[in-house]
Amino acid sequence: MASTSRARISVVGDALIDELRDPSGAREFVGGAALNVAVGLALLGDDATLIAMVGDDEPAERIHAFLDDYGVRLVASPSQHGTSRAVSIRTDGEPRYEFNEAAQHRQLRFDDDTRAALADADLVVVSCYPFDDDEQVDLLLDAIEGSEHRLIVDGNPRSGMLHDRDRFLANFERVAARSLLVKVGDEDADLLLGAPLDEFVARLGGGGSTDAAGPAVLATAGRHGASLHHRGIEVHADIVQLDGPVVDTMGAGDATLAAVVHRIAADGVPADAEAWSRALGEAMEIAAATVRHEGALLRTGVASPQIGS
């Protein structure tokens, strides 16, 4: 997949207004896990398209304008409940979410434009998708041919949007089994399994198997860093210490995923532990820069946001 041209990456999932509340007051940001990843990929130099649901309202206009600013194309599905909103209540930088009706009933329309955006992409990234909706999952898989060679999935479950935990888990594992790479976090493992992260990693095929058909598993554990499990390879990277305090951890996981996806798009899937270590180390540096700013916009810690391939 390595190429001198910009990789075409379609990101499927959520776009919303993030309202941050803390003792200092309330602020609003354009956000959503999938949107964060799409914008992050654009900042890293990729040709990014976001496939998401938005309403016909002022918040949707803000989302369109924000994506235009970063050169991300939006393929929008209509929403009968307006644009999604998440209220993030912060305690020591960690968010707790409350979601409006639109976010709780998110749904994508797989029309010609959506299917074309998926068909034309070198990689398809799915994040914060309604995996507890069987029809939405079936439509997604039907629209992505050759998924095991170009699909990357991050379940990103949120308790405020979760209607059926068992169904979400079953469908997430079904999609993960057909993917190139799957990302899971320690909070995902707790919410979906009530179990430690390493147990979830093992369920997804990252427990040391050398099976060439299984996905790579990117496991994130907050302050304990991240690890990568792929065909018997296991590498770990600690969080990176940078100058300045940690301000907001909201975008850490999305920045980590965007950095790893960017590296796969540029160089192909790493073939050995050394290459995976480099990719994971770069992702940890980007995540560390991101959390030192409010909001979830990916940061690289350098003067220019572009780091290229």
User: In the CATH hierarchy, which top-level class contains the domain 8-14+33-79+112-290?
Assistant: alpha beta
User: What does the alpha-carbon distance between residue 236 and residue 309 come to, in Å, rounded to a whole number?
Assistant: 22
Q: What is the CA radius of gyration of the chain?
A: 18
Residues in Cβ contact with 120 at an 8 Å cutoff, skipping those fewer than 6 apart: 8, 10
SS in 3 state form for the chain? CCCCCCCEEEEEECCEEEEEEECCEEEEEEECHHHHHHHHHHHCCCEEEEEEEECCCHHHHHHHHHHHHCCCEEEEEECCCCCEEEEEEEECCEEEEEECHHHHCCCCCCCHHHHHHHHCCCEEEEECCCCCCHHHHHHHHHHCCCHHHHEEEECCCCHHHCCCHHHHHHHHHHHHCCCCEEEEEHHHHHHHCCCCHHHHHHHCCCCCCCCCCCCEEEEECHHHCEEEEECCEEEEECCCCCCCCCCCCCCHHHHHHHHHHHHHHHHCCCCCHHHHHHHHHHHHHHHHHHCCCCCCCCCCCCCCCCCCC
pLDDT in tens, the chain (309 residues): 544 579 999 999 999 999 988 777 888 999 999 999 999 999 999 999 999 999 999 999 999 999 999 999 999 999 999 999 999 876 665 667 899 999 999 999 999 999 999 999 999 999 999 999 999 999 999 999 888 899 999 999 999 899 999 999 999 999 999 999 999 999 999 999 999 999 999 999 865 555 556 899 999 998 899 999 998 999 999 989 888 988 878 789 999 999 999 999 999 999 999 999 999 999 999 999 999 898 788 998 754 344 443
User: What does the alpha-carbon distance between residue 294 and residue 29 come to, in Å, rounded to a whole number?
Assistant: 9
Cβ atoms 256, 218 nearer than 8 A: yes
**Helix 273-290 with 252-267: angle, nearest 10 deg:** 140
Domain regions of the chain by residue span: 8-14+33-79+112-290
Global pTM value: 0.91
**Helix 112-119 with 134-143: angle, nearest 10 deg:** 50
